Every structure is written in structure tokens, then in C-alpha cells.
Amino acid sequence: MSSPIPMDETMWNGLIHSGIAGTMFGLPYVPPKKEAIKASQADLAFIGFPFDSTQISRTGANYGPRGIREHSSLFLTYNATSDIDLSQKFRMVDCGDIPVIPGDVENTMKIATETISNIIAGGARPVLIGGDHSVTIGGARAFARHHEKPGLILFDTHYDTADDIGGVKDSHCCPISRAVDAGFDPRHMVLIGISGWLNPRTELENARKHGLTVITLDEIIRDGAKPAGQKAARIAGGARDVYLTIDIDALDATVAPGTCVPTAGGMMLREMFEILAQFKELNIGGLDIVEVAPSLDPTKVTQIAANRIILETLAMLKAS
């Protein structure tokens, strides 16, 4: 009789469905360690952040990294219309998932900040795949370690400027306030796409208190996506380095139903792409896409939209 293969008991210490069943776009896997990133010569690194323990509405965004990776197989990294080949523009790798601790936001954020900081120190731009919007807190803290007074651009239906939710400071309702705390320059922070009936007055007041620039969806519809993007680029571009965060719920629910708080009457994909196209001259050194909840969308169009957004964003980015 053959000897039994011992089970690694540590596999139950974290999130059961974390880890990668396949990498983004079939890219090579490199562990999120400074020296490993340096050795790979990567200048852009995907990393999953399967965490949604601060969610105050429907859960499921912790499955986002797996769902987005799975549907990345429907895309190439080459666009024949624009003749852009991302595999030639960047040396891209996938660093797997951050080892989150379900239910423990404080220690998860410490782990995430260190992990993302290692990627940046290794010479790569981090691309975070969430996860709820608390993901941005870890990304922003790591980014601010390496960049002085950076700017930030947010796509979202919501302000996300709460100071805390029930005493929890690192909630998915608080990433913009935590970015300010981390050292981001409010003069160069822009919130794009704000709309709807789920923005408390206190978050509007916090945005004003911080001195943030807000471009509402009404403004985009009235004046056009291109002018909105130009305005955002002008303001965020006052900072040397910029972090970009995209909440999928900025999009209309017909485009992105698989999210925790879907938006009726939200932004359309082409409006988002037109805005993103105005950021070509910005030095965007890190980004994330968050709040994709695959279990809430049996059609899977949300994961497909998320991948398209990632590709369009990378096509816009300056090469390293």
C-alpha cells in the first residue's frame, strides 16, 4: 500500500477559494517578493485581493480575483484596431493573491500594504484585483510609501469618503478618507461618476472638507466624457504620481450587474473608456479594480467588462 500524502493543514488558515486557478491572460506567475519581482524584470504585476469582510451590502466580491482571471481567457493582450500589443509594451506577471484573513480587516490591511509595497520596491506597477473597495486602502498606503504626495482618480457611483462605518476605519466606504490620511494630496484627487441615491450627506460634506474635486455623472452627461476626462487629468496631473481606482459600480447595472450595489442609470462603458483615454500623459503608478462579485451575475458580463476595462486602462498607460 502506498503511503498517504499528508495534507497541508495551513491550507485552512485563510480563504478557501483564494489562490489562482489560472493567471491573468495566461501570464507567468512570480511571487510578490521584492527580489523575485526584480529578477523577473517585471514592470507591471497583477495581484488578487480576495477580501470583502467590510461589505455593508451584498457580499461576493471576495470571488472577484478568481472570476476576473477566469474570464481573462476570453481576451488577447493585442488589439488589432489600435495595433497595441501589451505584451510588447510591458513585462507583465501575475503575483497570485494576497493572503487575507477573513473577518480581520486590520491585519489583512497590514499584510496587503507590505505585499503591495514589495511589488513597488521590486520595480513593478501593481494592478490590484478586488475584492471590495477596502482593497484601495492597502494599495494607497503602499503607494504613499514610495511616492510623495501622490494624486488619485476614483471612478465610482459613491463618494467613499466616510470616516468610519460603525467604528471600522478601513471599511469599503472609507478608501478616499484613508488615502488622505496616508498622505495623498487632496488638491490632486478627483472623484468621477458620483450619482444616485446612496450617498449620505456626511460623505458629500467630507469631500468638500478635504477639498476634493468631484465630477458627477450629471456633469459627464451634460458636458461630455472627453471634457470630464480632461478636467480630471488636469487636476490629478498636478501630482507627480497618480493612483487610479475603479469601482465597477460606477457602471450602469445593465453593464455591471454583478456588484454589491448595482447602479441603475450609471455610466456606460464607452463613457468610461473616453475618460480613461484622457489620462495618457499622467504618471499612473498603481491601480485597482474592485467590487466585482461574480456570484451576483450569472451572465458573467461583469467579469468580462472588468477585463475590458483593465485592458483599455493598460493601453492608455505610459510605458515604464
Q: Is 102 helix (H, G, I), strand (E, B) or coil?
A: coil
d(Cα 59, Cα 291) in Å, to the nearest integer? 9
Q: What pLDDT score does 319 carry?
A: 82
d(Cα 23, Cα 37) in Å, to the nearest integer? 16
Q: What pLDDT score does 21 carry?
A: 64
143 half-sphere exposure, CB direction, 13 A CA radius: 34
Q: What pLDDT score does 20 carry?
A: 57
Name the DSSP letter for residue 281: T
User: Considering the entire predicted model, what is its pTM?
Assistant: 0.94
Q: What pLDDT score does 17 carry?
A: 58
- pLDDT tens digits, residue range 183-210? 999 999 999 999 999 999 999 999 999 9
Does residue 6 register a pLDDT over 50? no
Distances 291 to 17, 71, 103, 105, 234 between C-alpha atoms, Å: 17, 16, 17, 16, 27
Q: What is the DSSP string of 126-160?
A: EEEEESSTTHHHHHHHHHHHHSSS-EEEEE-SS--
160: closest CA among 191, 183, 139?
A: 191
State yes or no: cis peptide before 131, omega within 30 of 0. Answer: yes
**Percent of the chain topping pLDDT 70:** 93
Q: Which residues are annotated as a binding site?
A: 133, 156, 158, 160, 247, 249
Q: What pLDDT score does 11 carry?
A: 44
- Residue 189: CB atoms within 10 Å: 26
Residue type, 248: I
- The answer to whether the beta carbons of residues 124 and 161 sit under 8 Å apart is no
- The answer to whether the beta carbons of residues 260 and 57 sit under 8 Å apart is yes
| Residue 65: all three cell numbers together | 480575483
Q: What pLDDT score does 18 carry?
A: 59
Q: What pLDDT score does 195 carry?
A: 98
d(Cα 108, Cα 216) in Å, to the nearest integer? 32
d(Cα 200, Cα 188) in Å, to the nearest integer? 23
Does residue 2 register a pLDDT over 90? no
Residue type, 283: N
Backbone angles phi, psi at 157, to 5 degrees: -80, -25
Does residue 12 register a pLDDT over 70? no
Q: What pLDDT score does 14 carry?
A: 58
| 21: region left, alpha or beta (phi > 0 left; psi from -120 to 50 alpha) | alpha
d(Cα 223, Cα 225) in Å, to the nearest integer? 7
Does residue 168 register a pLDDT over 60? yes
- pLDDT tens digits, residue range 45-62? 999 999 999 999 899 999
Q: How far is CA 177 from the centre of its chain?
A: 16
Span 64-86, mean pLDDT? 97
- pLDDT tens digits, residue range 109-167? 999 999 999 999 999 999 999 999 999 999 999 999 999 999 999 999 999 999 999 99
308 band by pLDDT with thresholds 50, 70 and 90? very high
Q: What pLDDT score does 9 carry?
A: 43
User: Which CATH superfamily hosts domain 14-316?
Assistant: Ureohydrolase domain (3.40.800.10)
Q: How far is CA 316 from the centre of its chain?
A: 16
Task: Go through the chain and tell me how many residues it has.
Answer: 320
Q: Is 316 helix (H, G, I), strand (E, B) or coil?
A: helix
**Percent of the chain topping pLDDT 90:** 92
Q: Which residues are annotated as a binding site for Mn(2+)?
A: 133, 156, 158, 160, 247, 249
Q: What pLDDT score does 318 carry?
A: 85
- The answer to whether the beta carbons of residues 262 and 305 sit under 8 Å apart is no
